[in-house]
Amino acid sequence: MKKLINDPQNVVTESVEGFVLAHADIVTKNDDPLFVSRVGGAVQGKVGLVSGGGSGHEPLHAGFIGVGMLDAAVPGAMFTSPTPDQIAPALQAADGGAGVLAIVKNYTGDVLNFETGAELADAEGVEVATVIVNDDVAVENSTWTAGRRGVAGTVLVEKLAGAAAERGDDLATVTAIAQRVIDNVRTMGVALTACTVPHAGKPSFDLPEDEIEIGIGIHGEPGRHRIPLAPADEITATLLDAVADDLALAAGEQVLLLVNGMGGTPASELYIVYRQARALLEARGAQVARSLVGNYTTSLEMQGASVTVLRLDDELTGLWDAPVHTAALRW
Amino acid sequence: MKKLINDPQNVVTESVEGFVLAHADIVTKNDDPLFVSRVGGAVQGKVGLVSGGGSGHEPLHAGFIGVGMLDAAVPGAMFTSPTPDQIAPALQAADGGAGVLAIVKNYTGDVLNFETGAELADAEGVEVATVIVNDDVAVENSTWTAGRRGVAGTVLVEKLAGAAAERGDDLATVTAIAQRVIDNVRTMGVALTACTVPHAGKPSFDLPEDEIEIGIGIHGEPGRHRIPLAPADEITATLLDAVADDLALAAGEQVLLLVNGMGGTPASELYIVYRQARALLEARGAQVARSLVGNYTTSLEMQGASVTVLRLDDELTGLWDAPVHTAALRW
Amino acid sequence: MTLDVDWAVRWVRASAATVTEHREELIELDRQIGDGDHGENLTRGFTAVIAKLDALDAPPEQVGDVLKLVATTLMSTVGGAAGPLYGTAYLRAAKVTASAQLNSAGVVALLEAATEGIVARGKARPGEKTMVDAWTPAVAAAVAAADAGAPPSEVLAAAAAGAAEGAQATIPLLATKGRASYLGERSIGHLDPGARSTELILAAAAGAAVD
Amino acid sequence: MTLDVDWAVRWVRASAATVTEHREELIELDRQIGDGDHGENLTRGFTAVIAKLDALDAPPEQVGDVLKLVATTLMSTVGGAAGPLYGTAYLRAAKVTASAQLNSAGVVALLEAATEGIVARGKARPGEKTMVDAWTPAVAAAVAAADAGAPPSEVLAAAAAGAAEGAQATIPLLATKGRASYLGERSIGHLDPGARSTELILAAAAGAAVD
Ligand SMILES: Nc1ncnc2c1ncn2[C@@H]1O[C@H](COP(=O)(O)OP(=O)(O)O)[C@@H](O)[C@H]1O
Ligand SMILES: Nc1ncnc2c1ncn2[C@@H]1O[C@H](COP(=O)(O)OP(=O)(O)O)[C@@H](O)[C@H]1O
Ligand SMILES: [Mg+2]
Ligand SMILES: [Mg+2]
Ligand SMILES: [Mg+2]
Ligand SMILES: [Mg+2]
């Protein structure tokens, strides 16, 4: 295992420490329990936004704290959801008196820990609403299982709900916006290589040199199936078609296209994927009105990418264009 | 070789195509010869800024086209400098009547091709000044060799000279600012893994599982020497000390600290490096006044990082804070 | 024969030891059908439990006190799915063991409460390839042993054996809960890590009762 | 015996063929002490040269016309260090071969001009582990052969042999120019890719003269 780390046990604390030092104009941290929040504290009268989950997906979530997006983020251990005693004070720290929306990715651990965290915060007088992001179309038969995972679409939920909160929407409205995004966003990913969790010390799965995993999550889990390595255009078609079909995308619709790198993919490759995904969307008659290409929801150093499509309406487009000032997303 | 590409011969054109589609609000491209420039063309009366070099270092350089930074960028083949017939029209496209500054990284190929490109543009009536970026302290005895390489410090040259041009400085002044940045910026890098150039099909060097390369460039060249894998804090100290010593950094000075990922490094690791580099700078009595952490000058999917320190003065700090609106850097 | 607070402390220490000892095995099982953190998570959690136990001013008085300490510590240090699930299990178990001594019926009640807690939180039924598939046969075996008049130590031994069998029986199952469910058919042929850790913890309980 | 424009065309076609054939070898040499693109760059460049040659309305009239076409095409398609260096070499060579026929002195002049062009652009002296270390002995050998009264084909054969020797002799050298210089001591023990491609191209020139 080759990593720029010190003791594997300290990866999360040291990296959060570096992050907060580098972005001291935007974020601050609480140490015990660990969470990161906006410098200056909760914005009075504004609905607070909190997300969190296992670490290893950077810049998710702490990279999205700041004006127009999150108020606090709760980093768990590597690929391990945070605990209620971290989540509850983060929810409190984000509360400016207008309640807090918790944005939770759909994993048993995240859901359960946020459930308890919300209960604890509620006991302290914080009004908490929760949305569960589940954009990963790779999970089939989701009604009979733990359900779809929350993956890169989470970034869009955080941005759009964040913009709604920033313009002064109340908790019910912000929650409804977040849910509308969730209902209209789908993602599917591919891995060319596995990733190595520091404490595990070896790759999350073994993949022959000529095979790739289709339908991976963001925790180094193996995907739904394995196929021979193929040209980027073919792989992209597999991902995009699954996403667009599931979304029942119709001609004439406007979409946001997010091509997300898993952490170890060169930018040049992400743009090759983007080029083809966009061409396929346009061939379906959809219009790519907004785009985002880069590493936003990663799996450590995994090589691979995911394709996310969000169906836009005028309000969502406006919320997307609203100013955002975070470490990882800024305009 | 596992890559999200189609024909290896088309990597550059397809990825530039995707890039321009994704950022059509900022950039446009010319196809034959290939170069990328600001949408809307040269800004009349403003000094133009052009850079370029081999591809595979994305977001360098096209990702830095836009208000406050470059006017045009010339992508060569993978790790191969572009040709004069691409460079000359890019220089012309960037000329708003106030002349153009070419920012060239110090590689024989880049220097020679830009030389000819500038001559050709000059013949068309474009006033061209050139600066050569050579921030890589890993190259020793540089007076007897091809000299120091230009690496991640290039981004800082482009940002600061770009801000100077944007505020209306003339060609001589913008050139002087660029040169002042070059004189005060140093970088050193480490690779944990090699990278694979698409047309080569195999890693740029072979590195055992327990060794790393210190003093690498950005073209997948092997480094100056190989050492056993060590904790991040130790590796960072090696890089930072070389940089700070070469810069003859004195207590009380203000610096900008850039921790740059080589393309395949998780953000969490970059922040661990940042944390230690910052601590070491502070231990030297320097003050880290500005910071940048992320993938800015990459070597495809190489895992590793470089540490860059720029000595700041009030003017440079002001230029750093000036607005910038590019695909990869924006505030 | 009854079990007292000393047994509970021995159980917790033995749990910490066995989980730490099997850390790599649990990581590897989870790596195959999950995200490779189960052994790390439980080791971190039980290490924290031992630290809390060692730092107590006064020794705990009742079995329930010990279990409550385990519950709150696991909840605040394990994270992931296992943290809340085991946390709730110990919390529910603590509630039904508010007496100084546990007889066989008390042991059965403890195991039943723990299992109910896991099911209440995680909503998994038997056969979904989760830790429930170890807890359920453990309870059934404990009930049978208690009904047959076995002493607490033998009830726990039966429970441990039931959990071991149940864990093995997860191998051919298709996962429909937890992270392994994302793998669909590919989850078949692997031992569920949470079922395996349940087996280890219940073996520790039985071992602590014969010490 | 003299060489004419047909020889020049044969030379260029043979150069394209040999560079393409040795593409992987040149990439591998450059991978070891550079950035692994030399074979790719030259193949791209010479492929473009052939395309341009094939697309000409009228066949080129003089040796110099052919060399000039090579020069401008390599400059605009090769990039890297080799593009301007080879480009300038052919450009300078073209300037001194503005006659229909080349005798032995003409061949020497061609080689000298090419080498001077490379040195003028790249500023490398012999012994710095670059293509100059193949061109310089090639010129020396050509001069010696011409002085001894050899016909053009033998002058070229001598040049090719000199280049081959010079290329081999780069192996023990420490690089102080070009990308390999960044490696310091680690550049020792490797054949310089540009010296090797020079050897191939001059062998092609000699081969084209005996066809
Ligand atoms: N809904 C559930 N009900 C019961 N047990 C579950 C459920 N989901 C997961 N588990 C158990 O949790 C184990 C995984 O725990 P762990 O790896 O620590 O958490 P995570 O899956 O969040 O990484 C699984 O092996 C399974 O036994
Ligand atoms: N200054 C120089 N003078 C002469 N030849 C040089 C010089 N620098 C580099 N070369 C030659 O160029 C070759 C490398 O060419 P190439 O790989 O195509 O370009 P790059 O180094 O830009 O990738 C080297 O092997 C060397 O022979
Ligand atoms: Mg986990
Ligand atoms: Mg090159
Ligand atoms: Mg797990
Ligand atoms: Mg090269």
Please tell me the predicted confidence (pLDDT) of residue A142: 58
Angle among Cα C132, C137, C142 to the nearest 5 degrees reads 125
Please tell me the predicted confidence (pLDDT) of residue B200: 86
Chains C+B touching (3+ CB pairs under 8 Å): no
Number of separate domains in chain D = 1
Task: Identify the sign of the CA torsion A180, A181, A182, A187.
Answer: positive
Q: Is the pLDDT of residue B67 over 70?
A: yes
Average pLDDT, chain B: 96
pLDDT in tens, A302-314: 999 999 999 999 9
pLDDT in tens, A155-198: 999 999 999 999 999 999 999 999 999 999 999 999 999 999 99
pLDDT grade for B144, boundaries at 50, 70 and 90: low
At D12, phi and psi to the nearest 5?
-65, -40
Burial grade of B167 (CB within 10 A; 0-12, 13-18, 19 or more): middle
pLDDT in tens, A210-228: 999 999 989 887 787 899 9
Contacts of B216 (CB under 8 A, 6+ apart): B138, B189, B190, B191, B222, B223, B299, B302, B304
By three-state DSSP, how is residue C56 classified? Answer: coil
Beta bridge partners of B325: B67, B330
Please tell me the predicted confidence (pLDDT) of residue A163: 98
Q: Is the pLDDT of residue C89 over 70?
A: yes
CATH of the domain at D60: 1.25.40.340
pLDDT in tens, C103-145: 999 999 999 999 999 999 999 999 999 999 999 999 999 999 9
Contacts of C51 (CB under 8 A, 6+ apart): none
* Identity of residue B115: E
Q: Does ligand 2 lie within 6 Å of residue D179's CB atom? A: yes
Chain A / chain C CB contacts < 8 angstroms: 117
- Crossing angle of helices D63-77/D82-95, nearest 10°? 160
CB-based contact D44 B77, cutoff 8 Å = yes
Low-confidence ranges of chain D (pLDDT < 70): 211
Q: Is the pLDDT of residue B142 over 70?
A: no
Q: Kindly state whether D40 is in contact with chain B, defined as any CB-CB distance less than 8 angstroms.
A: yes
Supply B40's token pair. Answer: 């809307």
CB-based contact B304 A4, cutoff 8 Å = yes
pLDDT grade for C100, boundaries at 50, 70 and 90: confident
The yes/no answer to whether this complex scores an ipTM above 0.90 is yes
Q: Kindly state whether D36 is in contact with chain B, defined as any CB-CB distance less than 8 angstroms.
A: yes
Is C157 in contact with C146 (CB distance < 8 Å)?
no
CA-CA distances (angstroms) from residue D64 to B163, B199, D72? Answer: 48, 33, 12
Q: Does ligand 2 lie within 6 Å of residue D43's CB atom? A: no
Name residue, tokens 């004419």.
D4
Considering only CA atoms, which residue is closest to atom 16 of ligand 1?
C38
Q: Is the pLDDT of residue B143 over 60?
A: no
From A146's Cα to the closest Cα of chain C, the distance in A is 5
Average pLDDT, chain A: 96
Q: Is the pLDDT of residue B27 over 80?
A: yes
By three-state DSSP, how is residue A140 classified? Answer: coil
Record the pTM.
0.95
**Which superfamily does CATH assign the domain made up of A185-321 to?**
Dihydroxyacetone kinase; domain 2 (3.30.1180.20)
Alpha carbons within 13 angstroms on the beta-carbon side of residue A71 total 30
Domain boundaries, chain B: 11-184, 185-321
SS3 letters for chain B?
CCCCCCCHHHHHHHHHHHHHHHCCCCEEEECCCCEEEECCCCCCCCCEEEEEEEECCCCCCHHHEEECCECEEEEEEECCCCCHHHHHHHHHHHCCCCCEEEEEECCHHHHHHHHHHHHHHHHCCCCEEEEEECCECCCCCHHHCCCCCCCCHHHHHHHHHHHHHHCCCCHHHHHHHHHHHHHCEEEEEEECCCCECCCCCCECCCCCCCEEEECCCCCCCCCCEEEECCCHHHHHHHHHHHHHHHCCCCCCCEEEEEEEECECCCHHHHHHHHHHHHHHHHHCCCEEEEEEEECCCCCCCECEEEEEEEECCHHHHHHHHCCCEECCCEC
pLDDT in tens, D97-151: 877 789 999 999 999 999 999 999 999 999 999 999 999 999 999 999 999 999 9
Q: Does ligand 2 lie within 6 Å of residue D192's CB atom? A: yes
CA-CA distances (angstroms) from residue B270 to A10, A310, A327, B135, D73? Answer: 14, 30, 14, 20, 43
Within A169-327, residue ranges assigned H as helices are: 171-183, 232-246, 267-283, 314-321
How far is D145 from D78, CA to CA, in rounded Å?
A: 32
Q: Which A-chain residues 268-327 have CB contacts (< 8 A) with chain C?
A: none
At A105, phi and psi to the nearest 5?
-80, 145
Is A263 in contact with A302 (CB distance < 8 Å)?
yes
Contacts of B275 (CB under 8 A, 6+ apart): A14, A15, A17, A18, A21
Burial grade of B32 (CB within 10 A; 0-12, 13-18, 19 or more): exposed
- Mean pLDDT for B57-66 is 98
How far is B181 from B157, CA to CA, in rounded Å?
A: 6
Quick one: which of C87, C89, C60 has its CA closest to C73?
A: C87
Instruction: Sort out which chain B residues have CB atoms less than 8 A from D78's CB and list them.
Output: 80, 83
State the residue range of the domain holding C169: 3-210
Is C41 in contact with A200 (CB distance < 8 Å)?
no
pLDDT grade for C197, boundaries at 50, 70 and 90: very high
CATH 3.40.50.10440 fits B11-184, yes or no: yes
Rg of the Cα trace of chain A? Answer: 19
How far is B300 from A38, CA to CA, in rounded Å?
A: 34
Considering only CA atoms, which residue is closest to atom 15 of ligand 1?
C82
Within A184-266, residue ranges assigned H as helices are: 232-246
Instruction: Sort out which chain D residues have CB atoms less than 8 A from B207's CB and list them.
Output: none
Instruction: Sort out which chain B residues have CB atoms less than 8 A from D122's CB and list them.
Output: 108, 112
Q: Is the pLDDT of residue B220 over 90?
A: no
Q: Is the pLDDT of residue B223 over 90?
A: no
pLDDT in tens, B74-106: 999 999 999 999 999 999 999 999 999 999 999
CA-CA distances (angstroms) from residue A3 to B192, B220, B305? Answer: 7, 18, 11
Please tell me the predicted confidence (pLDDT) of residue A143: 57
Residue of B nearest to D181 (CA): B145
pLDDT grade for A145, boundaries at 50, 70 and 90: low
How far is D138 from D156, CA to CA, in rounded Å?
A: 9
From A35's Cα to the closest Cα of chain C, the distance in A is 13
Mutation site, C28, C35, C176, C183, interface A, largest A CB count within 10 A: C35
Which residues have their alpha-adjacent CB atom under 5 A from ion ligand 3? A 79-80; C 35, 37, 80
Supply D6's token pair. Answer: 């047909």
Is B231 in contact with B267 (CB distance < 8 Å)?
no
Task: Return the H-helix or E-strand segment holding D207.
Answer: helix D193-210
By three-state DSSP, how is residue D104 classified? Answer: helix
Quick one: which of D38, D51, D84, D88 has its CA closest to D67?
A: D88
